[in-house]
Amino acid sequence: MASTEIRTALVTGASSGIGAALCRLLAAQGITVALAARREEALRELAETIAADGGQASAHRIDVSDPEATIEAIEAIDDELGGLDLVVANAGVVKGKWSGKLGWEDCRDILAVNVAGATATLIAVVSRMVERKRGHLVGISSIASYRGLPKLAAYSGSKAYLSNLLEGMRIDLRGTGVSVTDIRPGYVRTAMNEDTKGKLPFEVTAEDAAARIWKAIRARRAVLTFPLPMAAGAHTMGALPNLLYDRMMKRGK
Ligand SMILES: NC(=O)c1ccc[n+]([C@@H]2O[C@H](COP(=O)([O-])OP(=O)(O)OC[C@H]3O[C@@H](n4cnc5c(N)ncnc54)[C@H](OP(=O)(O)O)[C@@H]3O)[C@@H](O)[C@H]2O)c1
């Protein structure tokens, strides 16, 4: 399916950051976009901005940490829009802590949103897409998926899960007309890292990230890691033996 054939899309985590920027970009291509997140007011404002710019968008309150309700809501949107061509599992949360002090409350949301929520989003209408012989599933993983990260063990674990889920789905779905793309961004300046003052290494804006993601979707890329210096670093880290990797990473409490 060529990019011009993407007529409808659903993006979770559309109320801010990468998701909001991607929705604006998709709508500017003439794609009807379903905006999903918990903050309804932000979604409604974004839908209005998109409409004012001549695009089409609808706001949907979906809390992806409830997988059954998420699947039901996405199925209903699929019905409403006459079939979703593109589903982007972008909603995500991060919480960092030294592993020696981790409590369940530090991990629960990460697993509920990044693991269960992303899975529910990606499988919600996959069987319908296979029946229609068309569709594209995209997950916003992270550069953190390449190795376990200190003080981010649960987050990097959740993104490793997501990347492996996407890879397994990609291979399963080969030849069905349904494409799968795994996006692994480096630092993107959004609310997620608002506590970090000063420049993050090779940081990009949400708009820049959205443009790269859209290009990868059009090209039906299997995996996109960006920006290039971070991708190179991640690949190198991925190949290091534990002895070297452990020494390189910061240790501390
Ligand atoms: N920023 C980075 O440096 C970076 C790097 C690599 C990967 N990523 C990934 O990129 C994705 C987007 O993050 P971002 O940087 O754009 O951060 P963000 O601005 O904080 O956006 C996170 C989005 O996730 C939504 N969300 C959180 N919990 C949710 C839930 N239970 N149900 C539905 N939506 C939920 C939020 O909406 P509501 O609060 O309205 O629900 C928000 O729209 C995440 O998966 C993140 O892990 C980010």
Q: Is residue 219 part of a domain?
A: yes
| CATH number of the domain where residue 166 is located | 3.40.50.720
Distance between CA 214 and CA 197 in Å, rounded?
Answer: 28
From the CA of 183, how far away is ligand 1's center (Å)?
14
Q: Is residue 253 part of a domain?
A: no
pLDDT of residue 76: 98
Range of the domain at 195: 3-248
Beta bridge pairs of residue 188: 204
Q: Is residue 196 part of a domain?
A: yes
Indicate which atom in ligand 1 lies nearest the CA of residue 15.
43
DSSP labels for 162-211?
A: HHHHHHHHHHHTTTTTEEEEEEEE--EESGGGTT--SPPTT-EEHHHHHH
pTM assigned to the model: 0.97
Per-residue pLDDT of the chain (253 residues; tens, 9 = 90+): 444 489 999 999 999 999 999 999 999 999 999 999 999 999 999 999 999 999 999 999 999 999 999 999 999 999 999 999 999 999 999 999 999 999 999 999 999 999 999 999 999 999 999 999 999 999 999 999 999 999 999 999 999 999 999 999 999 999 999 999 999 999 999 999 998 889 999 999 999 999 999 999 999 999 999 999 999 999 999 999 999 999 998 754 4
8 ligand 1 Cβ < 6 A: no
pLDDT of residue 5: 87
Catalytic residue ranges: 155
Q: Is residue 79 part of a domain?
A: yes
Q: Is residue 17 part of a domain?
A: yes
Q: What b/e readout covers 171-191, taking b as 16+ CB neighbours within 10 angstroms?
A: eebeeeebbbbbbbbbbbbbe
Q: How many domains does the chain have?
A: 1
Pocket test residue of 10, 87, 113, 192 for ligand 1, highest count of atoms within 8 A of CB: 192
